[in-house]
Homo-oligomer: A and B are copies of this chain.
């Protein structure tokens, strides 16, 4: 995944009621200098983002992404994003992407220190080839996330339910997983509950029910998990949000990490234990996730 271009959004005005925002987008090359050194995104990871999968110029699950983007802004005391402006920016970027799989990121930074407004842009990068993890599955290790399930409600300043640009811990956790010979990590709360992966949601099959941890503030509500559950419901399966104990990972019939760009990656190993992979179901789910959806 290499960033190819960006659209700088200026002005980003939450109360701008115009119907056509195209004049507020300015395309810049990915390698060209575009952001100033005063940017708080770069100095402090102080901002929010979404990563939206784009398939053949169609951006997926835009409503769910923008809803979460707005929620992240609220948690972070950022000006509420103008949803229509962002939707048009995403669409404009998606058209420029063209064929194949891409990822469009929306980024809202607090702006320049003491500056009057936030800074806003979307980036577009071509997606890595994820056909192998989708087909063969991934190995994961469980990593302690350091807080217990009650922490997010008790300490909202920890921003645990917001998708912020402060992603250093997520990246370090992926490096730790690779160091242990695994492909990815699953975070576990300090009181022993499954949370999420550094950049994905966890879905487990337990008996006839597909479960995912309740998004009660300590984890992001995954947009791809929402789509996967909608599809599973349509197929006649049962789905449930609930607290999931870490030891339930091992006894699961199957499990997946689902995310906007890699889509559904079946888990084939958790720590030292193998997990069965349901190839047929995974292929069908990924075919659905690759089809144009809104």
Contacts and interface: CB of A to CB of B under 8 A. Distances in A.
**By DSSP majority rule, is chain A's interface helix, strand, loop, or mixed?**
mixed
A200 B217 CA distance: 28
A221 to B, nearest CB: 19
A77 B3 contact: no
A43 B37 contact: no
Max chain B CB contacts within 10 Å: which of A43, A49, A158?
A43
Contacts of A19: none
Given A3-B36, A33-B35, 14 more contacts: A3-B113, A33-B36, A34-B35, A34-B37, A35-B39, A43-B123, A43-B165, A43-B167, A46-B167, A47-B168, A76-B172, A156-B176, A157-B172, A166-B166
A148 interface: yes
Interface stretch (A139-147, A222-230, A243-251, A275-283): A139-147
A18 interface: no
Contacts of A42: 35, 39, 41-42, 107, 109, 165
A134 interface: no
A92 to B, nearest CB: 15
A34 B155 CA distance: 36
A2 to B, nearest CB: 6
A80 interface: no
Nearest to A152: B146
B43 A38 contact: no
A155 B146 contact: yes
Contacts of A154: 144
Given A31-B38, A35-B35, A77-B175, A148 B43 contact: no
Interface string A168-185: 111111011000000000
A151 B157 contact: no
A45 interface: yes
A263 to B, nearest CB: 20
Nearest to A124: B37
**5 A-B pairs closest in CB distance:** A45-B45, A166-B166, A44-B167, A166-B168, A3-B38
A107 B38 CA distance: 12
A32 B39 contact: no
Nearest to A185: B157
Given A43-B107, A107-B43, A167-B166, A3 B143 contact: no
Nearest to A173: B157
